[in-house]
């Protein structure tokens, strides 16, 4: 597989899962100051941005640009605090700005231009700039259909705190390595306490660095930034494609600016009314269900699955062995139980990852952890040099700014045990993962959870085998908005568009002609 297609797959795999924030348990040892990355080239709030050619972005990400595509970049300044909430107009960040980085890809074949299609890949923490580049490569590489790129500019933006947009960074690479390698089910009291202590350390470290600015990374502030993006690209109304967490961002926009919505596609729906405990259990259930589908696939496809007929047993055994005797790889790196667990998580985001997981577990049993590290690193955003992007820094900052529920330590310990019985492989990790936001400092800035009265129909896409945003959340999001229309893909993996002709045709017709999919439309897996 060429690099372009591989990287597009990684967009779906690493940038869209809220499970990232739920499982992050790192420490933080960064300097105690709030970084400022603003640039004088950023357009002031309300001013038109200065676009410049930027083919180097595609060159850096993929090695080349897509044929017939032109890439332009700009930066806009937005208020750090949009003046929402009690005392916000005089609170943290008043009068200061964040920079938002934009990239637009425009096809040389574009005709009868409708406007811009604004993209968010989810996370939170995913780079829309990167994603716009990947999706510009067209359907042959898993990108957007030419029917869409012929009518729209594809515009990606990095939300506040993410990648090129005034990035949050308060977690060292060493701490990220330690967190991903940690036992996903710390049973002993000592190990459990150590898990909590890691979360307390990261909270203290990030609080020391960013202080009262932390709530400013929440979803409502970012949704207001999106309206500045809409204005910057010159559209009267927003046309938007949001994946996973991007559905929450889009739903929040629709509530704040219902009259400025042209068309929203929310793929991989997040239920905004679901709080921390319910959301964590929902993901445990979703991953357990997806893993069961993988297990059954293995049993029915032994020729492609070297750990058949008992894939569940093989994976469970690999994690258990790694707890006491991890396999060493190149440079002495150890494939601990945490790394094996994240290889499993990674593989479930796409059905094509199932065969990779089976091969990785088989090779691990033979003493070679290379493929386990490959899968886990692609999820974690870890480069071959051991360095990380700021995906997980931003993920934690956004998730915890949004979250108001704080279970007690005793509750988490009880849920760890209870969910181990209900969701053996994923339940304990999702339970103890709640420590990330429980130990997070600073205030909270919860997003709205109501109707989008006055907005046109919004298409909400769900995948029946989705592990990270389980299918049950699709109808809940559509119902909450009041104008949602559910479109179902009976497939596997995280998110659906544009993976099959049925889904693609329905979404394209909506984006281009505003033709809403018929009620109850279900698309087959293939």
Classify residue 325 by burial, with Cβ atoms within 10 Å: 0-12, 13-18, 19+.
exposed
494 is catalytic: yes
Band of residue 9 on the pLDDT scale cut at 50, 70, 90: very low
Give pLDDT, residue 42: 79
Classify residue 390 by burial, with Cβ atoms within 10 Å: 0-12, 13-18, 19+.
buried
| Identified catalytic residue from 158, 393, 402, 466 | 466
Whether 287 contacts 17, CB under 8 Å: no
466 is catalytic: yes
Examine the pLDDT at 298 and tell me if it is beyond 70.
Answer: yes
Name the 3-class secondary structure at 69: strand
Percent of the chain with pLDDT over 70: 90
| Identified catalytic residue from 116, 244, 337, 378 | 244
Name the 3-class secondary structure at 23: helix
Q: Residue 197 is inside which H or E element, if any? A: helix 189-210
Whether 270 contacts 477, CB under 8 Å: yes
Least confident span in 112-121, 381-390, 473-482: 381-390
Give pLDDT, residue 11: 52
Give pLDDT, residue 89: 57
Give pLDDT, residue 116: 98
Band of residue 174 on the pLDDT scale cut at 50, 70, 90: confident
Average of per-residue pLDDT values in the chain: 90
Band of residue 175 on the pLDDT scale cut at 50, 70, 90: confident
Quote the tokens at residue 146: 């030419």
- From the options 3.30.200.20, 3.40.50.1820, 3.90.230.10, 3.20.190.10, give the CATH code of 101-165+235-272+448-523: 3.40.50.1820
Report strand pairing: 69-79 vs 115-120.
unpaired
Percent of the chain with pLDDT over 90: 85
Tell me which DSSP letter residue 371 carries.
H
420 Cβ contact partners less than 8 Å away, ≥ 6 residues apart? 185, 427, 428
Examine the pLDDT at 86 and tell me if it is beyond 50.
Answer: no
| Identified catalytic residue from 127, 282, 337, 494 | 494
Quote the tokens at residue 281: 């259990």
- Average pLDDT, stretch 338-344? 98
Task: Output the furthest CA–CA distance in the chain (Å, rounded).
Answer: 64
Angle subtended at Cα 246 by Cα 428 and Cα 34, rounded to the nearest 5 degrees? 80
Q: What is the DSSP string of 122-140?
A: -TTT--HHHHHHHHTT-GG
107 is catalytic: no
Examine the pLDDT at 230 and tell me if it is beyond 80.
Answer: yes
Quote the tokens at residue 342: 């994240």
What is each CA distance from 467 to 45, 270, 288, 351, in whole angstroms? 39, 12, 8, 11
Examine the pLDDT at 6 and tell me if it is beyond 60.
Answer: no
- Average pLDDT, stretch 159-166? 97
Quote the tokens at residue 220: 């409502």
pTM for this predicted structure: 0.92
Q: Which residues of 34-65 are buried (b: 16+ CB within 10 A; e: fewer)?
A: eeeeeeeebbeeeeebeeeebeebbeebbeeb
């Amino acid at each position: 597989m060429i690099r372009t297609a591989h990287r597009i797959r990684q967009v779906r795999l690493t940038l869209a899962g809220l499970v990232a924030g739920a499982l992050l348990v790192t420490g933080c040892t960064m300097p105690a100051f709030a970084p400022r990355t603003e640039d004088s080239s950023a357009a002031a709030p309300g001013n038109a941005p200065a676009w410049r050619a930027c083919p180097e972005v595609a060159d850096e990400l993929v090695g080349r640009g897509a044929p017939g595509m032109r890439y332009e970049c700009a930066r806009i300044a937005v208020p750090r605090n949009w003046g929402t909430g009690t005392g916000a107009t005089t609170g943290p960040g008043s009068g200061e700005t964040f920079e938002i980085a934009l990239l637009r890809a425009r096809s040389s074949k574009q005709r009868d231009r409708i406007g811009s299609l604004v993209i968010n890949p989810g996370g939170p923490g995913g780079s829309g700039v990167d994603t716009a580049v990947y999706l510009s490569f067209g359907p042959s590489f898993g990108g957007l259909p030419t029917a869409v790129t012929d009518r729209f500019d594809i515009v990606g933006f990095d939300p506040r705190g993410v990648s090129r947009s005034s990035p949050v960074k308060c977690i060292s690479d060493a701490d990220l390595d330690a967190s991903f390698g940690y036992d996903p089910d710390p049973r002993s009291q000592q190990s459990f306490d150590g898990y909590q202590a890691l979360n307390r350390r990261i909270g203290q470290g990030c609080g020391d660095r960013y202080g009262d600015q932390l709530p400013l990374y929440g979803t409502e502030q970012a949704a207001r930034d999106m309206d500045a993006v809409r204005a910057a690209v010159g559209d009267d109304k927003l046309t938007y494609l949001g994946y996973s967490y991007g559905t929450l961002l889009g739903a929040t926009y629709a509530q704040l600016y219902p009259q400025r919505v042209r068309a929203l596609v929310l793929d991989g729906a997040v239920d905004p009314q679901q709080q921390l405990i319910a959301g964590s259990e929902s993901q445990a259930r979703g991953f357990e269900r997806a893993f069961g589908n993988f297990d059954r696939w293995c049993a029915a496809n032994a020729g492609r699955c070297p750990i058949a007929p008992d894939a569940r047993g093989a994976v469970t055994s690999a994690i258990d062995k790694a707890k006491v005797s991890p396999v060493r790889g190149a440079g002495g790196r150890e494939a601990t139980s945490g790394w094996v667990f994240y290889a499993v998580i990674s593989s479930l985001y796409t059905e094509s990852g199932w065969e990779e997981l089976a091969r990785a577990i088989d090779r691990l049993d033979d003493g070679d952890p290379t493929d386990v590290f490959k899968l886990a690193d692609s999820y974690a955003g870890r480069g071959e040099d051991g360095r990380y992007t700021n995906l997980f820094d931003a993920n934690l900052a956004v998730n915890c700014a949004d979250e108001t529920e704080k279970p007690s330590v005793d509750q988490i310990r009880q849920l760890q045990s209870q969910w181990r019985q209900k969701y053996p492989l994923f339940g304990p990790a999702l339970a103890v993962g709640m420590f990330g936001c429980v130990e997070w400092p600073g205030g909270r800035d919860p997003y709205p959870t109501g109707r989008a009265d006055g907005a046109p129909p919004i298409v909400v896409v769900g995948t029946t085998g989705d592990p990270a945003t389980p299918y049950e959340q699709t109808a809940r999001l559509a119902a909450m908005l009041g104008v949602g229309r559910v479109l179902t893909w009976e497939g596997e993996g995280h998110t659906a568009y544009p993976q099959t002709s049925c889904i693609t045709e329905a979404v394209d017709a909506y984006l281009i002609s505003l033709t809403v999919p018929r009620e109850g439309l279900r698309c087959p897996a293939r």
